[in-house]
Structure 1
Amino acid sequence: MKTGMNLLLWTDHVTEAQDGVLESIKAIGFDSVEVPIFNIDDHAAYKRLGGRLKSLGLSATAVTVMGGPEINPISSDPKVRDAAVAYLDRVLECGQQFGCEILCGPLHSTIGLFSGRGPTDDEFQYGVETLQRVSEKAEARGIRLAVEALNRFECYFLNTAAQTEAFIRAVNHPYCRMMFDSFHANIEEKDQASAIRSSAEETIHVHVSENDRGTPGTGQVAWDSFFDGLSQTNYDGYLTIEAFGLALPALAAATRVWRPLFPDAEGLCRDGLAFIKKNIGQ
């Protein structure tokens, strides 16, 4: 397995201001970083980042979200679905600039947008068709997609590993797979190990995230079950820590972080990585 650190702990757009963070992440012992791609116009910053990561010997994944109803992949409006494909292709283009291997996140639907009911068969089919088109773009750019289920308070379309696996199988494209996130699973799954086992064939990426979004290993996630599931399925992909703090007010508001969750970011990285390595070793 390889370990990673999601840069959303510090920023929603990586520039030279985060050079010191990258150096610290490498020095602590991580193998990779996860780069947020929300700004799809600043190719120069992503290209520069690629050079920086190469010099440090860090690989990269990326994360994005569908941020508005105008780019909703499950919209009944074909123009909106077209816009979703175009947006994700732009994100993938940005990822190419820094050698991104996997683009993860809730790529299936607009985050925080609710219909007042559960997902419909039509929405499922719209999502499948949209992600099939995006998968073709992803293959052309050499970046795999890892679709993420979110808990019911953040979306209504895909909430569980089983739902996401069914969606991925319907898309039926080698460049469209899924990811598993311990934070969302802590809310939605009956058992972490069972959920990991049931979706193992489609899972290519994993987020290690505590129930309060703080330091992994300090909260209530069923970590024994989580790591047992990974061991039982011989998972060999990235284990990337996703944590959120108060560094950026807009990001803190978006992730509903209203209080300090850990003493300092570097300590979270050190303790989180040590926690992962201890459990992998066991």
Structure 2
Amino acid sequence: MSLQVSFGVSTWLWTSPFSTSNARDLFAKISGMGYDMVEIAVEDPQLIDTAIIKEELFRNNLQVAICGAFGSTRDLSSDDVALQKNGLQYIATCLDIAQQLGASFFAGPMYAAVGKARMVAAEQRKTEWERAVKNLRIVSGMAADKGLQLALEPLNRFESDLINNVQDLLQLIKDIDHPAARIGLDGFHMNIEERDATQAIVDAGEKLIHFQVSENYRGTPGSGQTNWNAYLKGLKEINYKGAVSIESFTPDNKELAGAVCIWRKLAEDQDTFAREGLAFLKQWAQG
């Protein structure tokens, strides 16, 4: 039995930050390769003109997902109230963008700033956890008011000290206690943090609404040592019918490459990455 999913790819594979000026050529390329969906990474909402982007999505027959970028100034768990407020405002704007473009969810590790990985006392961790829960309960309500869900994403230990795996995230969602709070998984982080990828997907269950992939080294799917059969088994077991979306990053933008620690080219070029990755995923999904 094959996996009945759609296939997407992140704008981060080619560009950072994404802007309206990128949409026409990039969407035509993505659609022409055979993708069903584009995952738009919103780093700067001011660069997004939803009317034009919506037109380009329609022109190229592409579904859309919206993913956030959570730098140090957007931190819902911060001691600094101003950073919490900035994070909430950013998320509110991204939810507007998602609604206007016809997305069904907003995705990302929005509980804390990416790269916030420290050894902290249990009391400090508890305080930050409670801040994340409180703020994400607010965000969940904002999302629900717009008919959206949140795809909350665990990050590996080198990028977060708060949420590293599915079990962490299930506890967070239990504490948030809002139906809009759901799960998005990224196989790259799972390869580092999950003992059993199949079981992690099964544990996420019906809460899993988005699944991102790349190779274990962030390269082209099928070119590394990722256990793709484990993903397939888990996704089939929960009857997952969402998108499987490639997320990796262009080495051409030095700021982005530095932030995600990509010090070399991961493929011949980004177009080859996308084409070969999609070909592999389509074959993989057939079982």
TM-score band w.r.t. shorter chain: over 0.9
For residue 5 of structure 1, report the CA deviation from its aligned partner: 0.6
Whole-angstrom distance in 2 between the partners of 1:188 and 1:43: 34
For residue 147 of structure 1, report the CA deviation from its aligned partner: 0.5
- Matched with 2:93 is 90
- Matched with 1:128 is 133
Matched residue SS, 1:220: coil
Whole-angstrom distance in 1 between the partners of 2:81 and 2:21: 39
- Matched with 2:102 is 99
Could you report, residue by residue, the CA deviation over 1:152-181 in whole angstroms, capped at 9, with x for unpaired residues?
001111001111111112212222211111
- Matched with 1:62 is 66
For residue 80 of structure 1, report the CA deviation from its aligned partner: 3.7
**Structure 2 residue identity aligned to 1:174:** P
Match of 1:47 among 51, 58, 75: 51
- Matched with 1:191 is 196
Q: Indicate the larger mover: 116-125 or 191-200.
A: 116-125
Does 1:215 find its partner at 2:220?
Answer: yes
Whole-angstrom distance in 2 between the partners of 1:280 and 1:114: 35
Contact preservation (8 Å) 1:62, 1:103: yes
Match of 2:7 among 3, 6, 10: 3
| Count of aligned pairs | 280
Whole-angstrom distance in 2 between the partners of 1:20 and 1:231: 35
For residue 19 of structure 1, report the CA deviation from its aligned partner: 1.9
For residue 43 of structure 1, report the CA deviation from its aligned partner: 4.3
Q: Report the aligned-residue RMSD.
A: 1.7
**Structure 2 residue identity aligned to 1:60:** V
Q: How does 1:1-282 map to 2 (within 5 A)?
A: 1-11=5-15, 12-44=17-49, 46-68=50-72, 70-117=73-120, 120-282=125-287
Contact preservation (8 Å) 1:214, 1:244: no
TM-score by length of 2: 0.92
Matched residue SS, 1:212: coil
Matched residue SS, 2:46: coil
Whole-angstrom distance in 2 between the partners of 1:96 and 1:270: 29
Q: Indicate the larger mover: 238-247 or 97-106.
A: 97-106
TM-score by length of 1: 0.93
**Structure 2 residue identity aligned to 1:150:** L
Whole-angstrom distance in 2 between the partners of 1:43 and 1:222: 37
Identify unmatched segments of 5+ residues in structure 1: none
Whole-angstrom distance in 2 between the partners of 1:163 and 1:24: 37
Q: Indicate the larger mover: 265-274 or 152-161.
A: 265-274
Whole-angstrom distance in 2 between the partners of 1:148 and 1:79: 23
- Change over 3 Å in CA distance of 1:190–1:65 after alignment to 2: same
Could you report, residue by residue, the CA deviation over 1:213-250 in whole angstroms, capped at 9, with x for unpaired residues?
11011112111111111111111111101122312121
Percent identity, aligned pairs only, is 32
Matched residue SS, 2:201: helix
Contact preservation (8 Å) 1:14, 1:49: no
- Change over 3 Å in CA distance of 1:29–1:43 after alignment to 2: closer
Whole-angstrom distance in 2 between the partners of 1:65 and 1:243: 14
Contact preservation (8 Å) 1:74, 1:108: yes
Matched residue SS, 2:38: strand
